[in-house]
Amino acid sequence: MTEKIIDLSVDIAGLKLKNPVIAASGTFGFGREFADYMDLNKIGGISVKGLTLEKRQGNRPPRIAETPAGILNSVGLQNPALKPL
């Protein structure tokens, strides 16, 4: 039996991805947390939270406060920096 190769590539606003699977921000960290569990080169992309050129520790705790209408969040863009990724 011959194996068919299907082209799943997509073009999103001029950015060509090899497939439309994009890991969602907030559920996939910055990607490296999952590197031991899957081949990150197999997905189309990773959508990350705020990312800066330099590493940021973010805001000091408390970062979350409960209010009558919900929760306020002020993490402060804590991230590992662009270069290590």
* Cβ neighbours of residue 24 closer than 8 Å, sequence gap 6 or more: 47
Together in a domain, 60 and 37: no
Residues 26 and 15 in one domain: yes
Q: Which residue has the higher pLDDT, 13 or 50?
A: 13
Q: Looking at the predicted structure, is the pLDDT value of residue 18 above 90? A: yes
Beta strands 70-73 and 64-67 are antiparallel
Q: Are residues 3 and 18 in the same domain?
A: yes
What is the percentage of the chain residues whose pLDDT exceeds 70? 96
Q: pLDDT at position 84, please?
A: 60
Q: Which residues make beta-bridge pairs with 17?
A: 10
Query: Is-above-0.85 flag for pTM?
Result: no
Residue 83: pLDDT above 80?
A: no
Q: Is 8 left (phi over 0), alpha (psi -120 to 50) or beta?
A: alpha
Q: Are 43 and 82 in a shared domain?
A: no
Mean pLDDT value of segment 25-38: 86
